[in-house]
Structure 1
Amino acid sequence: MPSAAPLAAVARAQHPCRSPKPAHRPMTVAAAALKQASPGARASAAALSEGPSPLDEDAPSEEQRQPLFKFGLLSDVQHADMDDGASFHGTPRYYRYALCQLDAAVDAMSAAGVAFCLHLGDLIDFHNSRLGVCADTELHHSEKALRVALQHFDRLGRPTLHLLGNHELYQHSREELNRRLGISALQRGVVPHSYYTFHPAPGFRFIMMDGYDVSILGWPPGHPGHEQAQRLLSKHNPNEDKNSANGLEGVDRRFVKFGGGASAEQLAWLRGELESAAAAGERAIVACHLCFHPATCPGACLLWNYDEVLQVLQRYPGTVVGTLAGHAHADGFAADEAGIRHRVCKAVLETPPGRECYGIVEVFADAIRINGVDTFASEEWPLAPLGPPTAAAAAAPAGAPAAGEPAGKQVAAVQA
């Protein structure tokens, strides 16, 4: 894995817990449709809908190696107001201290001058749903946890982009999350789904996928996404408890109830976004809570139709720079045959007191540098020359395998 020097402005000192307070003046948003979103979500939508950040207007020369823009990166905060615990595998989890980790990250990102922050999903933990109503308020712990976590992100004073993870969907409806996380305000005609695109600077496109578009989670019984998920789990997971992967091997372990996949409609949307990016000469970074590549994570953490998604991405070499994902709670790295980099990010939740876990990403004309802080690994992605989509991309319908490629077990499965 290539190394990258951390930013000098990023401090690694232990960060004390404290109540959130604004680090900058609140951002002004006029859109009436955003009134119900959190302050941070409203700021995100306003800044991104208005186009490139002022940080990008007078970009320094490449000779000085100044980035075109910077953004913050972290995953799986999973906040809950409860004592420390452990994962099903015994890994310690620091539920309350996760907010201290978030504050440290926000302060460093602010000092570094990031244009926005990207959180890769699982903002709050499912344990909130079991804690009941808070003793000091009339709010349920699930509601209070979401409010508090968003307030801590609001301290940045810059947009924060969110992805939906399984833990949010255990506690809140998709419609509510889309609204409160600012997703609805950034969509263009795909509501009630949770995938969207944004342009942080000229020449760059971030494509945010919904890993639970086909899932038991987030859809009511009878919804096509829910029904398709039930068929897939019945076909591929023989366990009575569909959250269990017992007896499944390798990548087949992905067929669990806490997972999900991308629908045919989302794959068509993804291909359309990549076609548009390629035509405009843009670089694309694709993000999802669930993981894209089997070399980056345990099998249970993969998108159900990860192979189908990879086939779409690999038809646009040069345009697709890399993917970002969370969910697995450990750093993971891969580079595929098309030259696309795949990164899975370590969880804030499992970072002990005295350590930190986030990245500040610098985007240059010829490379993307992930400057990891403390336990968050550093990495550099070179940008390949831009070129036209492959011949297979021009000929194949959205979501279809490239010419000469086998359909594969999962491609057939998602069409079942």
Structure 2
Amino acid sequence: MSSEKTLLRFGVIADPQYADVEPRLEYDRYYRNSPKKLADAIDTLNGEDLAFVATLGDLIDRDWESFDPILSVYEGLRHESILLPGNHDFSIAPQRLTEVHARLGMPAPWHHFLRGGIRFVVIDGNEVSLFSTPEGHARHAEARSRLAALEAAGAINAMPWNGGIGDGQFAWLDQMLADARERGEAVIVMGHYPLYPENPHNLWNGERVTELFERSGNVIAYLNGHNHVGNLGRTGSTWYVNFKGMVDTETENTFAVVEVYKDRIEVIGYGREENRSLAL
């Protein structure tokens, strides 16, 4: 381990997926155990020097009422908390769908911020999906046609619990990466859905996004949850790190601290999360 200074350290949590419901043993998911796991993770992360802690979606499994118990645990976090939604965060009454981003304290469904000289970009893969908008909404219809096209093409990620990003968001992301490149900033993108390697859980238009990252050349990492078993891949100059789901297993926890250096990214895993050293 070289002794040079870290540019940045931050925490990562994925898929607490809390609900006051019985476990689904076939998936090894223990929904009621997540607040305790989250509190334990926060206790550890509070002892670290971190710029922020990001939670990569699926704070709840279902029901608007589930947000209060899990979000109250974050009140014990001494670091800045950055939350983004996953598909399960929209498993709520239709009339509340438009309130999810505000409930998570997000400035916008997709946004960016600078920490330690690194540009962080949050994307919203729920934008075009069957769950983020009610029947009759234009984006709901777009989601139906996108899913039908993927099914017709035999795509392995043609699943109703995945989503995609719209053309407007894609153009915004393209511009964000171009602006960061002009300023000489390295970029880390965060979202709920994996993009790479190919997987049944991937964002519907994930290939289009990975091609954009490859063209841009300045996205050093993409961080996500959603696929609870975790994953890792690299294409172009971008590492794709899929963090494991906290809701899985009765007692084992999973979360991470990420350290960014000039020449590498170190993932320090806790519980089921793996340690990784990713050369840049």
For the aligned pair, the TM-score class normalised by the smaller chain equals: over 0.9
* Residues 67 and 174 (structure 1), Cα distance of their counterparts in 2 relative to 1, 3 Å cut: farther
Listed as ranges, the matches of 1:335-374 within 5 Å are 335-336=234-235, 338-353=236-251, 355-374=252-271
Contact kept, 8 Å, 1:351 with 1:357, in 2: the verdict is: no
Contact kept, 8 Å, 2:84 with 2:101, in 1: the verdict is: no
1:99 is aligned, of 31, 35, 56, to 35
Q: TM-score, normalised by structure 1?
A: 0.63
**How far is the alpha carbon of 1:114 from its aligned partner?**
1.5
Secondary structure of 2:47's partner? helix
| Alignment-derived partner of residue 272 in structure 2 | 375
| Alignment-derived partner of residue 91 in structure 2 | 170
Secondary structure of 1:112's partner? coil
> Given residue 89 of structure 2, which amino acid in structure 1 is its aligned partner?
E
Kindly indicate whether residue 148 of structure 2 is the aligned counterpart of residue 148 of structure 1: no
| Alignment-derived partner of residue 168 in structure 2 | 265
Listed as ranges, the matches of 1:205-220 within 5 Å are 205-220=119-134
| Alignment-derived partner of residue 146 in structure 2 | 232
Q: How many residues align?
A: 278
2:17 is aligned, of 46, 55, 78, to 78
In 2, Cα distance between equivalents of 1:68 and 1:254: 35
Listed as ranges, the matches of 1:174-213 within 5 Å are 174-183=97-106, 185=107, 187=108, 194-201=109-116, 203-213=117-127
Q: TM-score, normalised by structure 2?
A: 0.93
| Alignment-derived partner of residue 328 in structure 1 | 227
In 1, Cα distance between equivalents of 2:267 and 2:3: 18
In 1, Cα distance between equivalents of 2:137 and 2:112: 24
Q: Which has the larger radius of gyration?
A: 1
In 2, Cα distance between equivalents of 1:382 and 1:234: 39
Secondary structure of 2:226's partner? coil
Q: What is the CA deviation profile of residues 355-385 of structure 1, one whole-angstrom value per residue up to 9, with x for unaligned ones? A: 32110111223322110112101112223xx
| Alignment-derived partner of residue 279 in structure 1 | 182
Which of the two has greater strand per residue? 2
Give the alignment's Cα RMSD to 1 decimal.
Answer: 1.9
Contact kept, 8 Å, 2:197 with 2:232, in 1: the verdict is: no
| Alignment-derived partner of residue 56 in structure 2 | 120
In 2, Cα distance between equivalents of 1:375 and 1:160: 22
Contact kept, 8 Å, 2:59 with 2:67, in 1: the verdict is: yes
Q: What is the CA deviation profile of residues 332-355 of structure 1, one whole-angstrom value per residue up to 9, with x for unaligned ones? A: 01111x1211111110000331x3
